[in-house]
Structure 1
Amino acid sequence: MDLFKQQNVEDFYDIGDELGSGQFAIVKQCRERSSGLEYAAKFIKKRQSMASSRGVRREEIEREVTILQQIQHPNIVTLHDVYENRTDVVLILELVSGGELFDFLAQKESLSEEEATQFIKQILEGVNYLHTRKIAHFDLKPENIMLLEKNVALPRIKLIDFGLAHTIEAGVEFKNIFGTPEFVAPEIVNYEPLGLEADMWSIGVITYILLSGASPFLGETKQDTLRNISAVNYEFDEEFFGHTSDLAKKFISQLLEKDKRKRLSIQDALSHPWIKSNELREENKATEPKRRERRQLKTKRLREYTIKSHSSMPPNNTYVNFERFAQVVEDIDQMESSFSSLAEAHDSLQEDIDALVSIYNEKEAWYKEESEAVRHELSQIRYEFRKVEASKRTLQDDMQTFSCSLAAVSERFQERQDHFDALRLELSNELQWVQEVVGSLPVDGGGGGYPSCSFTTVFNNDVNEALKELLNRSCGGELLSGINLDFTETGQQR
């Protein structure tokens, strides 16, 4: 609702002492900071969920506010402002500080019917204003009939508490079971369609109590009370109504009519002779003592009724308990929220852990596979290394053997070289001798009978053959060609 101000009421009003409380509401005195005017702040607990039965549903609060916004009458409390926070809707209402009507009347020494009609008429005028606008209060009872102030000759009546009020729409059937059992109409008890007539029945009960100090239908139990209402089981006991006028009793009887169509309407009640006339005047002070005593008993019985009705109701700490309960619920909600966050964090963490475990398992399997492959390769490398080491040792042995063989060959080669050098020297000496011998032979001596042959040539050929044979035997043919070449060259030179 747009008219619910989403602001902190304490920013604009100083909240004071408690004035009263109901099941889900508490009323405190407050002062408007901007104007300094006194008001009453009605804190209504909102129902936090559809499943909950604690608190007032928001639509019901909106209905009450909507009705109060339509009302502007001297005998009805007026609405000044509306605020809303997370847990409450706060109605800033006209301050009604005179207390309950019955408490005020119970403190009087005596009460005449004329005085009673003055207060009843104010109640009727307030209800007439409502019924003209098709608004039924549905909770008229002494606790909801207050005085604006009490230190005046004729206090002004103020009707309060419109939590059950409804606008009666033509053609729309409305049924409900609500209200205070002592004051509800039979149609409410029997769960029949409701209308403005239910308020008139409540006014009849209020008038009965006001004039007698007794409740017409009140039984030992709630069920007894409701049965008495449904059966319209009441009477004008002579003890209580011995000095009450017939007009007053007729007024009450016409209001306590089970048939709604026969029950007095608000206009009928306002024009009733008991209200219109001043038949019963306030008795002067010279009235006989006995009669005055009875009048005092009337107020005493009213006082007894008010004391009994207040004492029979246990202290209503519902709102305070509800605040505590709401705080506990809020704490539980916060804890549940924290638990939910923890659960979400746990789930998220569990998912991360599962993912890490999965990765770890995959890595572990991969590492095992890789480890097996590496282990196999390492074993293969070790095997190959051992083979290489064996080959290396074999090669070293072969190299050592080859070195030994090479050393032996080298020694043999050296021996052969020395032997060769000796033979060459010897051969060179022999050749030199042969050359000297050949050189000493006559050149033209001829061929000894062989004219075509030179002795030198033949001799050289024989020498060559002899030398080859010698070299083959001594050196195995090594250096043969070189020696032959040298010899030939020497022969040619010669």
Structure 2
Amino acid sequence: TLQASMRSPTMEMFKQQKVEDFYDIGEELGSGQFAIVKKCREKSTGQEYAAKFIKKRQSRASRRGVCREEIEREVSILRQVLHPNVITLHDVFENRTDVVLILELVSGGELFDFLAQKESLSEEEATSFIKQILEGVNYLHAKKIAHFDLKPENIMLLDKNIPIPHIKLIDFGLAHEIEDGVEFKNIFGTPEFVAPEIVNYEPLGLEADMWSIGVITYILLSGASPFLGDTKQETLANITAVSYDFDEEFFSQTSELAKDFIRKLLVKETRKRLTIQEALRHPWITSKGEIRAPEQHKAEPNQLKTKRLREYTIKCHSSMPPNNTYVNFERFARVVEDVARVEQGCRALTEAHDTIQDDVETLISIYNEKEAWYREESERARHDLSQLRYEFRKVKSSKKLLREDIRATGSRLGGAARKLDHLQTQFETLRQELSADLQWLQELVGGFQLESGSMDSPSSVFCRDTGESLGELLNRSCSEEVLAGLKL
């Protein structure tokens, strides 16, 4: 069938074989709502990879698992990308319940975790990491691919045991190819990092990633989140209002160039927001520290304190609810253990319980908001449909009245035409009678002229003038002036 033939190329992307026949599956690295990531080793080469087991949705009615179209989209995008700053896909397998992605093993942990362990961070170091993120995003945007989920958890290090670790962008579960002329809307992502156009359910494009980079840069330099509120609703309201500032408490050691870079990314109008190319050309990215205020040239480069960044990462790992992304539970457990040692086991256990309760409440809140939003959209669509039906009936009624008017006008025009024909017939008869009478008068006047004899006598002059007048009247007997005179 046509549908089967359309799906066959995608089906071929997934090997219908047991992944265990080719790879030794090892320890769990992390998990999410519908996915588990495990370490694995290829039997033929001994090379280590990460195996991401994605639970398939078994039916369209089910809410458990990921629908096949979304898995296929993620695989399709990963097969297109090959860049030093983007995670690479090695292989894909499929069984009855799961699709297994064999991915490049990224073992250096999150960028923010790495930076939080440092005592301080120079702005030049921060710039080098942001530039790597920009280069990875530049590669994706050149291919018209939007990541749509750029946040600290998805910015990993290939190996943290080198001076300047190599950044890898991961998790393409929300990524989309942006097609020219095709409008794409969705509500997804992590509230803290989403762009205003996502919150407002407006058409989306590559610009959404640039907003997320602005938020990431703000947090990296300050340890504070620009739009984060006490509730999700407050966070989203701050985003739509672009309500943020550069608090002196957080940005006293930050250069004006860095602030300018952030300002030009956190712009509500997508047309005015920096593109990836413009961001790469921004002086803060290209200067490598040589562009400073005159008083700073003599001093050492500003050192950004990482204490707040450390606090942010701990809070982020312990309280941020997952949102269509995969949570690294192994890292989460380590953070809980550290807190337990500081706060003493029993107290930490209570806090973990509260955190889980908050997560459940947040998920319920998100579900209720989504349900309310869909209900509102459905009601609006129903109202619009009702309005269209009313307008259609109105147009249909107008069309019927117009047809009746046309028929009545046609009938009146027919009557007028018949009346005109009758009048023309009467006029022709009258004209003939008048012509005959005038001819008789002319002959009568001619008889008078013959009887008078002399051409110069008054009677002959009178007859001649009378004859000429009658002749002219005879010639004009069918003219419009006669017709008008008769008042026909």
TM-score by length of 1: 0.61
- Matched with 1:477 is none
Instruction: Tell me, in whole angstroms, the C-alpha distance in 2 between the residues paired with 1:160 and 1:310.
Output: 17
Q: Is the 8 A contact 1:26 1:319 kept in 2?
A: no
Q: 1:47-446 alignment to 2 at 5 Å?
A: 47-279=57-289, 295=303, 298-313=305-320
Q: Which residue in the other structure is 1:468 paired with?
A: none
2-structure distance, mates of 1:133, 1:261: 19
Once residues 180 and 24 of structure 2 are traced to their aligned partners in structure 1, the CA distance between those partners, rounded to angstroms, is 43
Shift of 1:18: 1.2
Q: State the alpha-carbon separation in 2 of the partners of residues 272 and 90 from structure 1.
A: 40
Q: What CA distance in whole angstroms lies between the structure 2 residues aligned with 1:153 and 1:225?
A: 36
Q: Secondary structure at the match of 1:35?
A: coil
Cα displacement (A) at 1:11: 1.1
Name the CA distance, whole Å, in 2 between partners of 1:31 and 1:240. Answer: 44
Q: Is the 8 A contact 1:114 1:281 kept in 2?
A: no
Distance 1:249 1:29 in 2: 40
Distance in structure 2 (CA, Å) of the matches to 1:279 and 1:93:
36
Q: Distance in 2 between matches of 1:317 and 1:264?
A: 29
Residues of 1 paired with 2:289 and 2:121: CA distance?
15
Give, in angstroms, the shift of residue 279 of structure 1: 2.7
- Give the residue type in structure 2 aligned to 1:224: E
CA-CA distance at 1:14 after TM superposition? 0.7
Shift in Å at residue 281 of structure 1? 9.1
SS in 2 for 1:31: strand
Cα separation, 2, equivalents of 1:4 and 1:205: 36
Equivalent position SS for 1:115 = helix
Instruction: Give, in angstroms, the shift of residue 278 of structure 1.
Output: 2.1
What secondary structure is seen at the aligned counterpart in 1 of 2:37? strand
SS at match of 2:49: strand
Give the match for residue 7 of structure 2: none
Q: Is the 8 A contact 1:140 1:183 kept in 2?
A: yes
TM-superposition CA deviations, 1:28-84 (whole Å, max 9, x none): 100000110000000111111111111111010000000000000000000000000
Kindly state the Cα deviation for residue 202 of structure 1 after the two structures are TM-superposed: 0.2
Give secondary structure in 2 for the equivalent of 1:188: helix
Q: Is the contact between residue 191 and residue 232 of structure 2 (CA under 8 Å) also seen in structure 1?
A: yes
Please say if residues 35 and 326 of structure 2, whose CA atoms lie closer than 8 Å, have aligned partners that are also in contact: no
Task: Provide structure 2 residue ranges, at least 5 long, that are not aligned to the other structure.
Answer: 1-10, 330-488
Asked whether the 8 Å contact 1:13–1:33 carries over to 2, the reply is yes
TM-aligned CA deviation for residue 266 of structure 1 = 0.2
Contact (CA 8 Å) 1:113, 1:280: kept in 2 or not?
Answer: no
> Which whole-Å deviations, capped at 9, do the CAs of 1:439-487 have from their partners, x for residues lacking one?
xxxxxxxxxxxxxxxxxxxxxxxxxxxxxxxxxxxxxxxxxxxxxxxxx
Change (3 A) 1:220 1:319: closer
Conservation of the 8 A alpha-carbon contact between 1:119 and 1:157: yes
- Classify 1:215/1:319 alpha carbon distance in 2 versus 1 (closer, same or farther; 3 Å): closer
After alignment, is 132-141 or 5-14 more displaced? 5-14
**Counterpart contact for 2:150–2:193, Cα < 8 Å:** yes
- CA shift digits 1:91-121 (9 cap, x unpaired): 0000000000000000011101100010000
Percent identical residues: 79
Q: Secondary structure at the match of 2:306?
A: helix
Cα distance in 1 between the residues matched to 2:240 and 2:39: 40
The separation in 1 between residues aligned to 2:207 and 2:196, in whole angstroms, is: 11
Cα distance between partner residues in 1 of 2:128 and 2:284? 11
5+ residue gaps, structure 1, are 321-494
CA 1:242–1:267 in 2, change beyond 3 Å: closer, same or farther? same
Q: Is the 8 A contact 1:257 1:263 kept in 2?
A: yes
Letter in 2 for 1:232: V
Match of 1:11 in 2: 21
Q: Secondary structure at the match of 2:44?
A: coil
* Shift of residue 26, structure 1, vs aligned partner: 1.2
Distance 2:140 2:266 in 1: 20
SS of the counterpart of 2:52?
A: strand
Please report how far the alpha carbon of residue 314 of structure 1 lies from its aligned counterpart in structure 2 after TM superposition: 6.6
Q: How far is the alpha carbon of 1:313 from its aligned partner?
A: 3.6
**Residues 172-181 or 8-17, more deviating:** 8-17
TM-score (normalizing by structure 2): 0.62
Q: State the one-letter code of the partner of 1:310.
A: H
**For 2:36 and 2:20, how far apart are their aligned partners in 1?**
15
Q: CA deviation at 1:319?
A: 11
Asked if the contact 1:24–1:318 (Cα under 8 Å) also holds between the matched residues in 2, the reply is no
Change (3 A) 1:319 1:139: closer
Q: Which residue of 1 aligns with 2:462?
A: none
Q: Which amino acid aligns with 1:169?
A: E
Runs of 4+ in 1 over 4 A off after TM superposition: 314-320
Opposite residue 124 of structure 2, the aligned amino acid is E
Q: 1:233 to 1:127 in 2, by over 3 A?
A: same
Aligned letter for 1:25?
A
